[in-house]
Amino acid sequence: MPLKDQITEDMKTAMRAKDSERLGTIRLLLSAMKQKEVDERVVLDDVAVIAIVDKLIKQRKDSVAAFTQAARMDLADKETAEIKVLEAYLPQRLSADEVRAQVDAIVAELGAKGPGDMGRVMGVVKTRLAGKADMGQVSAAVKAALAG
C-alpha cells in the first residue's frame, strides 16, 4: 500500500478512535502533502511523502529546542508527541556506521577530494539516502570523509 494511502487510512482510524492528538498531526501531514501536490501539480510518490515527513519532523525538533529554552515544557511535550506520530511514517533509519560507509563509498565513486567537493557529494548523497538517514548526520559524515 502506498504511504499516502496508509496515512489516509491512519487518519480514518484515529477519527474512529477519537484520538484527537494523533488525528491533528495526521491532518497536518495530509495538508502539507496536498499543498505540495497543488503547488507543483504532481502526484506524490513515497519518496516525496517521506521528504515532507522529514521536513515536518525537523520543524518540530527546532520547535522543541525553542520551547525548551523558553521553559515551555507543555508546548515542547506536544511537539515531541507529534514527532513520534510522524516518525511512524519513516522507513527504518540507517545507523551511523552504515551512513559513514555509504558516504565513503560515494566519495570514492566520485573521486571527491577536499571541502570544495562537498556540494557535489551532498547532491548524490541526498538522492541515495533520502528518508533513510538524518541529513544532519549525513552532512557531518560527508564533512568528515572530505576532511580526512
148 pLDDT above the threshold of 70: no
What are 16-46's pLDDT values in tens digits? 999 999 999 999 999 999 999 999 999 998 8
Q: Do 13 and 67 belong to one domain?
A: yes
Domain boundary among 42, 65, 87: 87
Which residue, 43, 66, 87, sits at the end of a domain?
Answer: 87
Domain range enclosing 114: 96-147
d(CA 116, CA 126): 17
Residues 67 and 136 in one domain: no
Least Cα distance to 133 among 60, 50, 59 occurs for: 50
Cα 91-97-100 angle, rounded to 5 deg: 95
Q: How many domains does the chain have?
A: 2
| Euclidean distance between CA atoms 147 and 58, whole angstroms | 26
